[in-house]
Structure 1
Amino acid sequence: METVLFIGLVFPEPTSSAAGTRILQLISLYKDLGYKVIFASTAQKTENSFDLSSIDVVEYAIELNHASFDDFVLKIDPVMVVFDRFISEEQFGWRVATTCPKAIRILDSEDLHCLRYARHTAVKKNMVFEIKNLVEEPLALREIASIYRSDLTLIISEFEIEVLQNVFKIDKTLLYYLPIFYSNKVQTRAYEDRKNFVFIGNFLHEPNYDAVLQLKMIWKDIRKELPNINLNVYGAYVSPKINQLNNEKEGFCIRGRASCVYDVLEESKVLLAPLRFGAGIKGKLLEAMVVNTPSITTSIGVEGISSIGYWNGYVADNMKDFIEKSITLYREKEIWEESCKKGEKIILEKFKKELYKSLFKEFILKLKKGINSHRNQNFIGKLLSQNQFASTKYMSKWIEEKSKK
């Protein structure tokens, strides 16, 4: 049985973020295709880390800037190595290429970090973000270089594929669209059986913290029209600055980590997600669709999922509209139910695993057979792998030697 090695930035935490869900889905996909999967990370496991052994995946702790990784990867001899985000590729990609040159190197981007950072910078400076300015984001140099060094990069958002092709001129043969998978729940709570608004998100992720601050600013206006209704804020890694926003009397309730995301979404009437920056696709919005919970979000939230004109709720980019649409969607049963139908259709037509599994298998088989030709066509990738451009490689080797003394 051939082996696929995953190198994770952290061990997957599916109850903490959509990123953890994504990695587990990729692991499951490779196992479905008949591969043995090994997962390795430099990070410490936490109480929220998924037990990979429960799905027959072997876990390894690896060291950064240490030759022991070379021995490890040589021993397991993977046919493919999947890097969880570009930082993992920076740290270990050159070691894989040197020790196991035949192994196909696949980068799972999760989201375009440079896009998220550039948008965040624009928000902090109170500037209008333009996609053409993305080339000025310092992080783009590292992330795009990582994409070129990899044989293939998995992208979860069609919008981001367009950005990579149009802004950075990356050839389409280096990119593969593979979203997060979801399936509609067959039966969900009716409008009458739900109450309150909800927000959910990992608070290590800056866009989520910013969104909660936006909600805090507008909540009094919403509650003035909907007295006795609460906004329940759930999320992993709640910090003191998040807890300070808690005000039970005003109905702004910080609840902490949700034991089951789908349960707290399904018992709520509407999800509020005023996201001002970010990238990729937003797991919370798709998870809400799974259990027929309509949402109010921004054009950033919709991106990569659907069009602004077709959403399971409303899209509002200014706070006045956001407040009005939140109240309308909460009050109006007919609009609420119509929104649910739109969410079901979005999931069914774009995010079911069955839409992608066989196509991915065919693509991977084709890539394995033609990897030499594929690499020869990626001249920039070969160029960036040359010694004079391999700064991360030599910094790592310097640290390795220094630690021996």
Structure 2
Amino acid sequence: MRSQAGNWLAGLHYRLAHLRGLLRRGLSSLRSRGWRATWRRAWLQLRPPPPAPRIPLYRPPAAPFSAFAVPHADAPRASVVIPVYNHCEATLACLRALAAHPPAAACEVIVVDDGSADATAQWMPRVEGLRYHRRAANGGFIAACNDGAALARGEVLVFLNNDTFPQPGWLDALLATFDAQPDTGLAVAQLLYPDGRLQESGGVVFADGSAWSYGRFEAADDPRYGYVREADYGSGAALAIPRALFESVGGFDPRYAPAYYEDTDLAFAVRAAGRKVRVQPASRVLHDEGTTAGTDTGQGIKAYQVRNRGVFAAKWAEVLRGHPPPGTVPDPASLHAGQRRVLVLDEAVPRPDRDSASLRQLNLLRMLRARGAHVAFLPTGLAHGGEATADLQQLGVETWYAPFAASAPAWLRAHAARFDVIVLTRHHLASAFIPLLRRHAPRARLVFDTIDLHYLRERRGAQLAGDAAALRAADATRGRELAAMAAADLTLVVSAEEQAQLRRDAPDARVELLSNLHEVAGPGADFDARADLVFVGGFRHPPNVDAVLWFAREVFPRIRQALPEVRFHCIGAEPPPEVAALARQPGILVHGHVPDLAPYMDRVRLAVAPLRFGAGVKGKVNLSMAHGQPVVATTCAVEGMHLRDGVDVAVADDPAAFAEAVVALYRDRGRWRSQAQAGLENVARHFSLDAAAAVVQRVFFDPP
């Protein structure tokens, strides 16, 4: 009975202490942030829990201590520094999480014991691979971290609290931030509560030095917090910084000893040194906030959080004048208010390994991000695209999906007003959404991206097939497409021929030419190291189906008569039965979707583009030329590409001539090399990201 009464009293004491802490923090928030921001915080904490993360969270199973090994390397790229003071069970769990999912990067793990009085000194030396350092006397979090940094051998310092469970891939994602964006000086992880809710996805600092943990209590997968972006600071519970930079700014400033605000101060010092602070949401770390220091700012070590805010505000007073006032509730609109803001709408996120339109779109997004724009992407189908969505988020694109966007119209009603430029891809999306956007984003420039002129492609296909009904459908498409151009502020086309067509069909429309966008990959293997023929194109696109069937039935047998060992690699997603059946024909390999095309671009001798109808610019031709792979194509396939027959490309339109062109180029080493070089130069001149720079500036950044 006495034990039960003691437990009850202990529980009551905890609840009362927790309540006092909540009240104290609430009153402090009211004074510093005002009632709106305080109510927002209270609502987020007390409302029903948001959806759980898509990827299950890892927690090491609890078990008594036994010896194990952590990742270690003699020449580490990263040094993971874990300062500890007592709480040996938490440290043990953290190390077990590191051991369970070792990173791909070479690393070392350093535990700095700040004078613990528990079993830390007995357990840590028995962990294989761990570098254990015990300080002579307790000096606090900052002193322990700076000692760990002095011991580190890695190029990058990674500070990690011991009350954390690093998730699989966390360290590699942090390090990748420096690789992808070399101006990064500080990369911070996304922190999650043990129940899966967000604790912080970077932080916002207000003009008085107070701070906001961005995303606190929200869903971990909420698109507002899921993309790489600049942040004012990130929690020292999990952050990475190049060791040389850490040393050059003086490490964690001891004026904040023993702890709190040293991480915020470090972020400001990094920016003062000319580098960026970025949050990396792909690096996820569960943080049992308060395990080591509690949560009540009115007592114990947490009281230094209040004291050090004043120290920080005094040190950075001049910089803080440019920060928002306390009481502001941060959101994407306020965080990106100083940038050019661009929204792109399409049916789904781009998949550049599947179609050329996706590659063009992705490279456009890269160009916009490189020029400092904030970019959001709304797939109107609202499907999460898996790796394709994650790739956009890593590019820094605010990428939306269900259930966080209930419907495209509802999302646009709530968000469209914050954008300066809105791109509508394909005529049916433009027709559907332009009226809504005129109402909810009246100041935005509406750009209709045609991808290609659908009515032109449909008309040519109908004429080739002699299909009167299809010809009437093409005329209907023409009416819808031209109406979308009239409603938009500006229309993008991909070829000079289409631009000339619209001067006749839509003379009042403002039309800009933004063609395919490619990075020049280089020449690949030389003539003698290459063999075979290749075609690349998704088979949801009718011109590609017709092209492959025509080539396989009418052209390839003639080629095999002259080159009996040559093979034809047919690559493209979703081949229909009649294309799949071509694999029964000698020498034809139907691969379907191939995630990595580089081996086929760099090792196959020739590409073929036997298109008999279509419109726009053919990405398959650009792609091959960007890899130094010569192309044999029809007149239709090279339309609008600034190509010269016999110089940049070989052109033929009937089966016999096409086969003859393939055989001649396949056998002629000198001509092959000359055409390969000319193709590389053509892509650099007309289809590279540099070639498109002036158009992108006019369309997305210049005033009307």
Find the aligned partners of 1:92 and 1:63 in 2 and give their Cα distance: 16
Q: Secondary structure at the match of 1:246?
A: helix
Structure-2 residue corresponding to 1:224: 561
Q: Secondary structure at the match of 2:456?
A: helix
Q: Secondary structure at the match of 2:451?
A: coil
Structure 1 residues not aligned, in runs of 5+: 128-132, 371-405
> What do you get for the CA RMSD once the two structures are aligned?
2.3
Structure-1 residue corresponding to 2:174: none
Is 1:73 aligned with 2:434? no
Find the aligned partners of 1:337 and 1:100 in 2 and give their Cα distance: 52
Q: Cα 1:90–1:16, aligned 2, differ >3 Å: closer, same or farther?
A: same
TM-score, structure 1 as length reference: 0.83
* AA matched with 2:688: K
* AA matched with 1:49: A
Using the TM superposition, give the Cα deviation of residue 156 of structure 1 relative to its aligned residue in structure 2, in angstroms: 1.3
Residues 326-372 of structure 1 deviation map (CA, whole Å, 9 limit, x = unaligned): 11111111221121122122112212222331453255444x3x4xx
Comparing 283-292 with 58-67, which one deviates more in the overlay?
Answer: 58-67
Comparing 154-163 with 343-352, which one deviates more in the overlay?
Answer: 343-352
Residues 3-60 of structure 1 deviation map (CA, whole Å, 9 limit, x = unaligned): 2111112211111001111111221122122221110012224456352111111112
Find the aligned partners of 1:184 and 1:230 in 2 and give their Cα distance: 26
Structure-2 residue corresponding to 1:89: 430
Residues 47-95 of structure 1 deviation map (CA, whole Å, 9 limit, x = unaligned): 5635211111111235668545312324xx1111111112211121111
Find the aligned partners of 1:363 and 1:210 in 2 and give their Cα distance: 35
Find the aligned partners of 1:329 and 1:177 in 2 and give their Cα distance: 32
Q: Cα 1:126–1:39, aligned 2, differ >3 Å: closer, same or farther?
A: closer
Find the aligned partners of 1:68 and 1:45 in 2 and give their Cα distance: 15
Q: Secondary structure at the match of 2:535?
A: strand
* AA matched with 2:535: F
Structure-2 residue corresponding to 1:59: 399
Tell me which protein shows more helix as a share of its residues. Answer: 1
Q: Which of 562, 565, 572 lines up with 1:235 in the alignment?
A: 572
Structure-1 residue corresponding to 2:220: none
Residues 278-325 of structure 1 deviation map (CA, whole Å, 9 limit, x = unaligned): 111111101110111111111111111124546533111111111111
TM-score, structure 2 as length reference: 0.49
Identity of aligned residues (%): 25
Is 1:113 aligned with 2:454? yes
Residues 209-268 of structure 1 deviation map (CA, whole Å, 9 limit, x = unaligned): 1111011112211111101211011112223332122126x1011011122223212211
* AA matched with 2:502: L
Q: Which of 49, 52, 68 lines up with 2:388 in the alignment?
A: 49
* AA matched with 1:84: T
Q: Cα 1:359–1:119, aligned 2, differ >3 Å: closer, same or farther?
A: closer
* AA matched with 2:388: S
Structure-2 residue corresponding to 1:301: 637
Structure-2 residue corresponding to 1:282: 618
Find the aligned partners of 1:92 and 1:310 in 2 and give their Cα distance: 45
Q: Which of 332, 345, 361 lines up with 2:681 in the alignment?
A: 345
Find the aligned partners of 2:520 and 2:454 in 1 and give their Cα distance: 29
Find the aligned partners of 2:604 and 2:385 in 1 and give their Cα distance: 29
Counterpart contact for 1:84–1:110, Cα < 8 Å? yes
Using the TM superposition, give the Cα deviation of residue 105 of structure 1 relative to its aligned residue in structure 2, in angstroms: 0.4
* AA matched with 2:501: V
Using the TM superposition, give the Cα deviation of residue 187 of structure 1 relative to its aligned residue in structure 2, in angstroms: 4.2
Q: Which of 344, 348, 371 lines up with 1:6 in the alignment?
A: 344
Is 1:28 aligned with 2:366? yes
Find the aligned partners of 1:282 and 1:359 in 2 and give their Cα distance: 20
Q: How many equivalent pairs are there?
A: 359
Q: Cα 1:123–1:256, aligned 2, differ >3 Å: closer, same or farther?
A: same
Q: Secondary structure at the match of 1:137?
A: helix
Which gives a bigger RCO, structure 1 or 2 (Cα 8 Å, sep 6+)? Answer: 1
Structure-1 residue corresponding to 2:439: 98
Q: Which of 5, 22, 38 lines up with 2:376 in the alignment?
A: 38
Find the aligned partners of 2:517 and 2:698 in 1 and give their Cα distance: 18
